[in-house]
Chains A and B, each alone.
Chain A
């Protein structure tokens, strides 16, 4: 079982908080880039014989590509890789870059799941996040997705932007729930160094998110999404039963995955490797018939263990109690950050917010 990730590094605008490998102003490279993806799929495919049960086209904004290009890509991947029936094929979409027509093409070329960057339903929060779409665009895109036959839709939300209050976040959650997505991802806004937001915070021009308010927002998300029938299955992810994102679960369960596209990451066994990040360099390498690998690492047992603990705690599967020192565990149980579930130690809701502490305590 394995996963396939395809990275599309183009965006209409750059959001101040985003530190993904995404670019504006490279639109002229789009068709070359799609051809390169197909070429890389050929080059890398030889060494990837196992079935690919999940495909995730992310970015950037994949839906900035023309519908035909995306369709061609999906079809080519199915031809090159062993994608069994019933595979999960997700495409990330920006509400402003989709309409029914485009979504129908995606659906027909094999996409089963749509992940939409809604972020917020509060216009001031969207402005603060430098998102160009308004709340109505999300509603329209959602309706279009349903009309095109998508039965599996995720809404991405971000909480803790400057100006957002607990009340505003509550409205966003209620609006999101009202649209009836199968899956909700809610991320605490993180100030990443090297982003415009990171620089503005470092210069004191913008306030960093208040971690206590974000903790309250997290608790509210747990409460409202739980009440609405979504199961909390990863720190930042909720889903209707059976609608968990299988592709992301693959990352978290340390299953092999192959990444195609600029800056995409791959993993198998003890090896993690990644492609070069700049799209131009990626194009040059692939067009020269080379694998565009930019770096790799071999995991030692200690690193693998740390990852295992980190990821198992994130998806609330917990780690076997036998992995950790009782001396390290007891204060965390007492503090209500961990709970025992059979022979496993699982983070509580409060514990999820302090996951870094838990990981370090348990991975020792």
Chain B
């Protein structure tokens, strides 16, 4: 037992538990998560578990209880991992079940892996009407690789279209178990849910770890509370985490105090300590979330301090980059503050200052994917009242020059052609599962997106699993929408990073009256450069108002012009009549015109309205086809 000078006043063994939440022996703890393809009913099943274990009373119950943020509830997805303590009795014993929620979108794979690191078991949930989907496979592999015990479950057995037996067989084959071991539940009606709880208790092993060992706790998520500071979600691996213990963050080498320790039951409830295997939260009183790094280990300070950090998990790595600029130049500081606040709750968000000659001061931001980008942008606009211009998202390129690799996050940083040996782009291994009848359409789409087929296998006579290597740049925009529309919504997709591959990529610049507009530069495959250039100049010709002179809009690769349009000079802009004495109205019209002008961005000699940037940079479906 820890005997340091900051030991709590009461020995842990004598601790009076708060609110009846007793310290539980590790043998009666189960840490598990639910992993599923999006829309396979994870959140609804979690609601039933909360009800069945009386964690939430009927009166308090609301749909998708764990998805706390507005944004999540609206989009029907979960982006923040949550940990809830449930208690359940079985065979006269009371068990502590910690349900670690996981997100279901491919953008947030890293959050799945961080949640898995806090669990010993995973409920693998599959919709009986949909069958195994790409994310089912991806999540299954993640969980198995993390050494978790898998509890396979068929969900939505109440649906008329449910194929319970078929799905059960497929799941058994995937997991490598007997079909009789696959449970069948309905998150909607609650059927089979008690049996699921029993299976979790019987099959998922209790956590290992001894109270006597030095404390090692894994931070698997964190959030920022304006009153309490950074709150870390922790899973104690070894030792005991006590309230007011002095702690040390290994990754950043920092000492701090645990101001409060608690569990989510499901609302935050303080406890005296968290023992080995237990999951809960930790109020740090730290103001900077970056000091409490997700994935870090938090041993106590001083003598008996653990020396070896716990193995981490896959670090979140931004895949998609975009410049965010305030529409009103004066909002730069507000944008910076807002990004910093969001970052407190979003370890995957990265940003650095960026200066654009066209858009002024802003930030180049890295996101996990387009969904993540949309969520961040929407939160900045909704929660912080900012009006933003986002540049077209791009992936991270590697420019190879001799033995040097230049990492390019921003197309405008791409060196001019001829000054490097080659460019490499990120490639992902995509798993697509589709009904066999749409296989042709899927292959056609993948080929059009510069895909390279790795293998293909029939899961049954009607379902095919295909693996493709695809450039990330080709799938982040509208690939998923295209896949869905070509398969009537039946195909599913998941992907994982594969590495970098050389590609014939070029930077296409857009020039207004001979001046390049950095915000419009894009790095695209040479074969698609012409189409990109054409689309942009045509779009801009519609969006840029006529000026006092003819304005050329050009697309160029280096010094070579590949597309050109002209905005004809404006010839007439005058109030025809100015008599009858109503000068007031004329003046007001001019004042209005003047205010409009103040919202223009000047690029060289060309005035470009704010709206033109927003519209021209909007990622739309047709553009990349």
Taking beta carbons and an 8 Å cutoff, which residues of A are in contact with B?
5, 20, 58, 187-190, 211-212, 214-215, 218, 235-236, 248, 251-252, 257, 259, 264-267, 272, 274, 297, 303, 306-307, 310-311, 314, 331-332, 335, 337, 350, 352-357, 359-360
**A310 in contact with B573 (CB, 8 Å):** no
User: Would you call A356 and B548 a contact (CB within 8 A)?
Assistant: no
Question: Could you say which of B573, B581, B582, B584 contacts A354, with CB atoms under 8 Å apart?
Answer: B573
Task: Please determine whether B573 and A355 come into contact, CB atoms closer than 8 angstroms.
Answer: yes
Contacts of A259 in B (CB 8 A): 581
Say if the beta carbon of B161 comes within 8 Å of chain A: no
* Whole-angstrom CA separation of A264 from B582 in the bound complex: 8
Nearest chain A CB to B311 CB, angstrom units:
64
Beta-carbon contact of A360 and B582 below 8 Å: no
Closest B residue to A247 using CB positions: B579
Q: Is the CB of A265 within 8 A of B571?
A: no
With known contacts A188-B576, A310-B590, A354-B548, A211–B571 Cβ distance under 8 A:
yes
Query: Within the assembled complex, what's the spacing in Å between the Cα atoms of A189 and B572?
Result: 12
Contacts of B576 in A (CB 8 A): 187-190, 235-236
Tell me the minimal C-beta distance from B584 to chain A in angstroms: 5
Contact A335 B581 (CB under 8 A): no
**In this complex, what residue of A is CB-closest to B596?**
A360
Closest residue of A by beta carbon distance from B575:
A356
Contact B577 A360 (CB under 8 A): no
Residue contact B573 to A356, C-beta cutoff 8 Å: yes
Tell me, yes or no, whether B587 is within 8 Å of chain A by CB: yes
Is the CB of B418 closer than 8 A to any CB of chain A? no
Q: How far is the CA of A236 from the CA of B548 in the complex (A)?
A: 21
Supposing A215-B571, A215-B572 touch, asked if A335 and B548 sit within 8 A by C-beta, the answer is yes
> 11 extra interchain contacts, Cβ-Cβ under 8 A, other than A215-B571, A307-B587, A310-B586?
A58-B580, A188-B576, A189-B576, A251-B583, A265-B581, A274-B582, A354-B570, A354-B573, A354-B574, A355-B573, A360-B597
Are the CB atoms of A306 and B591 closer together than 8 Å?
A: yes
B462 near A: Cβ within 8 Å? no
By a CB distance below 8 angstroms, the chain B residues around A187 are: 576-577
Instruction: Check A211–B548 contact: CB distance below 8 A.
Output: no
Which of B548, B568, B578, B584 interacts with A357 by CB under 8 Å? B548
B119 shortest CB reach to chain A, Å: 61
- Contact: B590 with A359, CB < 8 Å? yes
**Known: A190-B576, A360-B594, A360-B597. Is A257-B581 also a contact (CB below 8 A)?**
yes
Q: Name 6 interchain pairs, CB-CB below 8 A, sorted by A.
A: A187-B576, A190-B576, A212-B571, A265-B582, A353-B572, A353-B573
Q: If A354-B548, A360-B594 touch, does A307 touch B583 (CB 8 Å cutoff)?
A: yes
B574 lies within 8 A of A235 (CB): yes
Contact, CB under 8 Å: B573 / A357: yes
B461 surroundings in chain A (CB, below 8 A)? none
Q: Which residues of B have CB within 8 Å of A236? A: 576-578
- Whether B590 and A360, one on each chain, are in contact in the complex, defined by CB atoms closer than 8 angstroms, is yes
Interface centre among A211, A265, A353, A356 (most CB of B within 10 A): A356
Interface 1/0 per residue, B540-576 and A, CB below 8 Å: 0000000011000000000000000000101111111
Instruction: Find the A residue at minimum CB distance from B579.
Output: A248
A356 vs B529: C-alpha distance in the bound complex, in angstroms? Answer: 39
Specify which chain B residues have a CB less than 8 angstroms from the CB of A58 in the assembled complex. Answer: 580
CB <8 Å contact, A266 and B573: no
Q: Which residues of A contact B3 (CB under 8 A)?
A: none
Q: Which residue of chain A has its CB nearest to the CB of B547? A: A357
Contacts of B549 in A (CB 8 A): 335
Chain A nearest CB, measured from B108 CB (Å): 46
Q: How far is the CB of B158 from chain A (nearest CB, A)?
A: 51
Q: How far is the CB of B580 from chain A (nearest CB, A)?
A: 7
Most chain B C-beta atoms within 10 Å of own C-beta, residue among A218, A264, A337, A360: A360
Known: A306-B590, A311-B583, A357-B548. A251 touches B578 (CB 8 A): yes
B593 within 8 A of A: yes
**Complex Cα spacing A236 to B576, Å:** 7
Quick one: given A211-B571, A212-B571, are A251 and B590 in contact (CB under 8 Å)? Answer: no
Using A211-B572, A212-B571 as known contacts, say yes or no to A356 and B590 having CB atoms under 8 A apart. Answer: yes
Q: With A251-B583, A307-B587 given, is the CB distance from A354 to B572 under 8 Å?
A: yes
Q: Give every chain B residue within 8 A of A350 (Cβ-Cβ).
A: 571
- A267-B581 contact, Cβ under 8 Å, with A236-B576, A310-B587: yes
Residues of A within 8 A of B586 (CB): 310
CB distance from A184 to the nearest CB of B (A): 14
Q: A311 to B590: give the CA distance in the assembly, Å.
A: 12
Q: How far is the CA of A265 from the CA of B576 in the complex (A)?
A: 19
Chain B residues within 8 Å of A257, by CB: 581
- A188: chain B residues at CB < 8 Å are 572, 574, 576
Which residues of A are found within 8 Å of B594, using beta-carbon distances? 360
Cα of A190 to Cα of B593 in the assembled complex, Å: 16
Write out the residue numbers on chain A whose beta carbons fall within 8 Å of the beta carbon of B578. Answer: 235-236, 251-252, 310-311, 314
Taking the nearest CB of chain A, how far is it from the CB of B507, in angstroms? 31
Cα separation A332 to B591 with both chains bound (whole Å): 20
Write out the residue numbers on chain A whose beta carbons fall within 8 Å of the beta carbon of B548.
331-332, 335, 337, 354, 357
Chain B residues within an 8 Å CB radius of A353: 571-574
Report the bound CA distance from A356 to B591 in whole Å: 10
Whose C-beta in chain B lies nearest to the C-beta of A209? B572
Partner of B583, one of A264, A267, A332: A267
Residues of B with C-beta under 8 A to A211: 570-573
Residue of A nearest to B573 (CB): A356
Chain A residues lying within 8 Å of B571, measured Cβ to Cβ, are 211-212, 215, 350, 353-354
Q: What chain A residues lie within 8 Å of B582 (beta carbons)? A: 265, 274
Task: With CB as the reference atom, state the residue of chain B lying closest to A158.
Answer: B576
CA of A235 to CA of B548 in the docked complex: distance in angstroms? 18
Given known A190-B577, A267-B581, A274-B582, contact A306–B587 (CB-CB < 8 A): yes
For residue A309, give the distance in angstroms from its CB to the closest CB of chain B. 9
Which of B568, B580, B593 makes the CB contact (< 8 A) with A20? B580
Provide the B439-457 mask, 1 if CB < 8 A to any CB of A, else 0.
0000000000000000000
Closest to B577 in A: A187
CA A306 to CA B594, docked complex, whole Å? 11
Q: Which residue of B lies closest to A214 (CB)?
A: B572
A352 to B574, CA, bound (A): 7
A214 proximity list for chain B (CB < 8 A): 572
CB distance from A214 to the nearest CB of B (A): 6
A5 lies within 8 A of B583 (CB): no
| Residues of A with C-beta under 8 A to B590 | 306, 310, 356, 359-360
Q: Which of B580-625 contact A (CB under 8 A)?
A: 580-584, 586-587, 590-591, 593-594, 597, 605
Expressed in whole angstroms, the Cα–Cα distance for A355 and B581 within the complex equals 19
Which chain B residues border A20 with CB–CB below 8 Å? 580
The B87-126 residues at the A interface (CB cut-off 8 A) are: none
Residues in B with CB closer than 8 Å to A311 are: 578, 583
Within the assembled complex, what's the spacing in Å between the Cα atoms of A190 and B573? 11
Residues of A within 8 A of B597 (CB): 360
Tell me how far the C-beta of B26 lies from the nearest C-beta in chain A, rounded to whole angstroms: 73
> How many angstroms between the C-alpha atoms of A352 and B577 in the bound complex?
13
Residue of A nearest to B549 (CB): A335
In the bound complex, how far is the Cα of B591 from the Cα of A314, in angstroms?
17
In the complex, which residues of chain B have a beta carbon less than 8 angstroms from the beta carbon of A359?
590
Q: Which residues of B lie under 8 Å from residue A352 when comparing CB positions?
A: 574
A164 to chain B, nearest CB (A): 15
Whether B579 and A356, one on each chain, are in contact in the complex, defined by CB atoms closer than 8 angstroms, is: no
CA–CA, A251 to B581, complex, Å? 6
A303 to B594, CA, bound (A): 12
User: Are B591 and A5 touching (Cβ within 8 A)?
Assistant: no
Nearest 6 pairs of A and B residues by beta carbon = A265-B581, A215-B571, A355-B574, A211-B572, A188-B576, A187-B576
